[in-house]
């Protein structure tokens, strides 16, 4: 029995893939077709044929105190990104209603910076309360570091999911940021979960890490028990230390997605920033384990039209 058949047999017996098996898969010894077929089978069996759509609003931009080497919003680099303070509540409400009208299921308020101030946090709670009243959207937030007390208040206001990436595996993290620690990020994830919030936690691939380090990141995320795992593909931003990093090939991206699905068969594996780098291969992600997608514009880059993404999803025989 070959490796992929052995792994499939384990799943039929309710067992999970091991780190060693995932590493073997990451070495490229298994044909793409076989890997993608198993990932797609697991995805459809566990997550169904409906693709969840989420969108974000960049509610506070730039001037971040942290030095994450991939980020256009870091105040440590000259990237030309537009900086602005927390936007007003009417702007957020308008964006949320427009996204809901276009078919989005989840909407997230996202802010730059290590965390928001007390004054900003109170304003964001007001935004959440208004959106809870005026829309039928599932509400999310991504506000940087989060205490347990703030997590409780977000849940009480109506937030269902909190987003906070680990960005990379523990051993690689120090190479992309040293103004805060990997452990600091983990504490935010745990605070959100302890408060009863679902957690959206993923990372970025293509920052110079090895395939083995991507597998390590996936197992670290699995260990946190999160419900949603966004996979971002690095979009090298001019002015950041990673501006000249060589882009991943579509095959590398799709194999990473498939291995993430095998490692986390019951989580939403979500297309996030940088997916446009796949070009014409983007639909293949839905046959390699993707069952959720961020749509619309991203924090500092422009995305596809939501209607075009919906058309792509439906062309793959999937539902919204």
Has 106 been labeled as part of a binding site? no
Q: Quick check: 203 and 231 in contact, CB under 8 A?
A: yes
Question: Is 64 marked as a binding-site residue?
Answer: yes
43 is in an annotated binding site: no
CA distance 184 to 194: 15
Count CB neighbours of 186 within 10 A: 17
Task: Determine if residue 63 is labeled as part of a ligand binding site.
Answer: no
Asked if residue 68 belongs to a known ligand binding site, the reply is: yes
69: left (phi > 0), else alpha (psi -120 to 50), else beta?
Answer: alpha
Closest CA to 295 of 285, 307, 284, 287: 307
Exposure letters 2-31 (e unless 16+ CB within 10 A, then b): eebeebbeebeeeeebeeebbebbbeeebe
* Residues 258-272 as b or e (16 or more Cβ within 10 Å = b): bbbbbbbbebbbbbb
Report the chain's terminal Cα–Cα distance, integer Å: 38
Q: Is 201 annotated as a binding residue?
A: no
Does residue 71 have a known ligand-binding role? yes
Which residues are known binding-site members?
A: 64, 68, 71, 108, 140, 200, 270
Which residues are known binding-site members for [4Fe-4S] cluster?
A: 64, 68, 71
Which residues are known binding-site members for [2Fe-2S] cluster?
A: 108, 140, 200, 270
């Amino acid at each position: 029995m070959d490796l992929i058949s052995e792994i499939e047999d384990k799943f039929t017996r309710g067992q999970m893939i091991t780190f060693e098996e995932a590493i073997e898969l990451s070495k490229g010894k298994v044909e793409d077709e076989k890997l993608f077929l198993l990932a797609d089978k697991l995805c459809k069996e566990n997550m169904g044929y409906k693709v969840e759509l989420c969108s974000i609003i960049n509610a506070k931009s730039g001037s971040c105190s942290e030095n994450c080497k991939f980020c256009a919003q870091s105040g440590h680099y000259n990237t030309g990104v537009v900086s602005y303070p927390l936007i007003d509540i009417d702007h957020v409400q308008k964006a949320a209603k427009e996204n809901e009208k276009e078919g989005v299921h989840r909407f997230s308020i996202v802010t730059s910076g290590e965390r928001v101030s007390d004054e900003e946090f109170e304003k964001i709670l007001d935004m959440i309360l208004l959106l809870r009243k005026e829309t039928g959207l599932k509400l999310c937030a991504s506000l940087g570091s989060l205490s347990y007390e703030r997590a409780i208040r977000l849940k009480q206001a109506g937030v269902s999911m909190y987003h906070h990436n680990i960005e990379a595996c523990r051993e690689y993290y120090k190479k992309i940021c040293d103004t805060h620690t990997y452990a600091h990020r983990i504490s935010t994830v745990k605070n959100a979960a302890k408060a009863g919030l679902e957690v959206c936690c993923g990372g970025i691939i293509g920052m110079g890490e090895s395939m083995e380090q991507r597998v390590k990141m996936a197992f670290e995320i699995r260990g946190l028990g999160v419900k949603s795992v966004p996979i971002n593909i690095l979009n090298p931003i001019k002015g950041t230390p990673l501006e000249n990093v060589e882009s991943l090939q579509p095959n590398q991206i799709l194999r990473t997605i498939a291995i993430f699905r095998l490692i986390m068969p019951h989580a939403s594996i979500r297309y996030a920033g940088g997916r446009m780098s796949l070009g014409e291969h983007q639909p293949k992600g839905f046959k390699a384990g993707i069952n959720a997608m961020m749509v619309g514009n991203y924090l500092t880059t422009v995305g596809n039209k939501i209607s075009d993404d919906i058309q792509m999803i439906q062309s793959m025989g999937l539902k919204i």
